[in-house]
Amino acid sequence: MKRYVLEGTWRGYSSSMDRVVHREVVPGNQKKYLEWLQKTFCIRYTDGTTLELHVRECKPRERVEKKNGYGSLIRDCFYNDVTSVAALCQKDDERKAAKHQTEAA
């Protein structure tokens, strides 16, 4: 089975702040997740910084040094099909409001 490397690079206010903050191996059978990662260039933060997402195929027998810094944010954006933290917060607020309405009814 093919494996892919997902690398997240935090882009700050200047290029000197840029650094790799997330790296993980994604199995090839997670097709929807891989498709979303490849079409999503970055996740935007409310302060204007971004988490750029880069996906590449693993080389045979390549050992990948994992950095699990932003895995939950990336997955949350994938599950909600959003590309910004603001949109993720909005989806969360909408979900809470809907839950509150069903409990009140």
Tens of pLDDT, residue by residue over 11-32, are: 988 888 889 999 999 999 999 9
| pTM listed for this prediction | 0.86
Give the model's pLDDT for residue 105: 62
Asked if pLDDT for residue 98 goes beyond 90, the answer is: no
- Cα–Cα nearest to 6, from 69, 84, 83: 69
Residue-range domain boundaries for the chain = 3-104
Mean pLDDT of the chain: 91
Give the model's pLDDT for residue 13: 82
Asked if pLDDT for residue 104 goes beyond 80, the answer is: no
